[in-house]
Amino acid sequence: MQIGIAGLPYSGKSALFSTLLCHKSGSDSFKGKVESERGVVKVPDERLDRLTAMFNPKSKVNSTVEYLKVSGLESDQKSSHGLPPQFLANMKTVDAILLVVRSFENKMFPHPFDRIDPKADIVFANSEFLLADLTIIESRVERLEKQLRKIQNDADKKELDILVKCRAWLETEKPLREFAVSPDEEKILRGFQFLTAKPILYVINIGESQIPETESIIHQFDDLKSESATVTALCASIEKEIAELEPEDQAVFLKDMGIREPALFNLIHRSYELLGLISFFSVGEDECRAWTLRRGSNAQKAAGAIHTDLERGFIRAEVVAYEDLIANGNYAACRAKGLVRLEGKEYVVKDGDILEIRFNI
């Protein structure tokens, strides 16, 4: 699953992407020739750090989230001609959108529309996403209507019906992510990869002087928040400086700036949650690891995240909550209090669960 990083020229998306790569997972990154740059980034997790300290394993493995910085907006556009077709095509492949929005002044890098107005930039980008979706719908509706005049087909009728509904919704200037559809309708729409249907994270890129006002700046965009849309703010230039420091120097820098932790960590967590993902853990002397799982998945699916053989031969999952293990200090104390449970394949795994899978092939 991928999150596509988008933004107008000089919004700071390249700085943000390079900062994310300071936290990349191994060598899972590449630069495409033209189309994109990709980075698989570790998800910071204090819970995994504490479990690692408890079990002292040979290795620690974080969950990851993948970011894709697509090309297409790097040219110095001075007028509003809409988002480039190649950019829109690339964005269709991602599962969620991270929109970097400029809120800082820098005369060396003028805003392409000669303004510093984050809300106007958001309206512009969302309007272009919406128009792109409408264009696809108009074209498909016209084709379906021609087909249905020649021959009546139930599948075509159903597709036409839902597309007409989507068109009406978009014409009210609302994104499709807020449009309720049935499971059958969702299957029909899935292949279109509509941009306004994708979850979106707005990242307000602020100046260094605005850092003390971060929370109040975020609240200015509360009207954008929904189940599939969220907002955060950070100073990409400062985050880049922090990421490039050694751990000891990072701590000093953060203290001097009055910052508890890099704002980038919050962005990564929000990205992970936006994709509907949670982490569960496996622990032991060899490895402590955070595994990625879709929220609402059952124990058998969790077993499959570890290895397909575990899913196929799943018998039971031994489960203890992270909070219970930390509070009691070890497995023995948790067992004595009945906090270690055996759960079947339909058990819905919770964020932070520690699992040991029992299986038989």
pLDDT > 50? residue 32: no
Residue ranges of the chain that CATH labels 3.10.20.30: 296-359
Query: What is the distance between the alpha carbons of residues 178 and 225, in angstroms, rounded to a whole number?
Result: 11
pLDDT digits over 42-95, tens only? 999 999 999 999 999 999 999 999 999 876 654 444 444 556 777 877 888 899
CA 185/CA 194 separation, integer angstroms:
14
The half-sphere exposure of 144 on its side-chain side, counting CA atoms within 13 A, is: 18
Higher pLDDT, 323 or 8: 323
Beta pairing partners, 287: 59
Question: Are the C-beta atoms of 48 and 282 separated by less than 8 Å?
Answer: no
Q: Which class is domain 2-53+62-110+198-274? A: alpha beta
pLDDT given for residue 347 in this prediction: 97
Question: From start to end of the chain, where are the E strands?
Answer: 2-7, 24-31, 36-42, 59-61, 64-70, 96-103, 200-206, 229-234, 277-282, 287-294, 314-321, 341-343, 353-359
Residue 243 has pLDDT above 90, yes or no: no
Q: How confident is the model at residue 244 (pLDDT cuts 50, 70, 90)?
A: confident
Q: What pLDDT is stored for residue 77 in this prediction?
A: 45
pLDDT at position 28 over 60: no
pLDDT at 322: 97
In this structure, are residues 104 and 205 in contact, taking their beta carbons and an 8 Å threshold?
Answer: yes
From-to residues of CATH 1.10.150.300 in the chain: 127-196
For the domain 127-196, what is the CATH code? 1.10.150.300
Q: Is 78 exposed, middle or buried (0-12, 13-18, 19+ CB in 10 A)?
A: exposed
User: Which residues belong to CATH 3.40.50.300 in the chain?
Assistant: 2-53+62-110+198-274
CATH 3.10.20.30 fits 296-359, yes or no: yes
What are the tens digits of pLDDT across the range 341-360?
A: 999 999 999 999 999 999 98
pLDDT at 258: 75
The answer to whether the CB of 348 falls within 8 A of the CB of 297 is yes
Residue 92 pLDDT: 87
In angstroms, the CA 195 to CA 130 distance is 7
Q: Tell me the per-residue pLDDT of 123-165, one tens digit each, with 9 for 90 and over.
A: 998 998 999 999 999 999 999 999 998 888 899 999 999 999 9
The alpha carbon torsion through 71, 133, 121, 239 (nearest 10 deg) reads -50
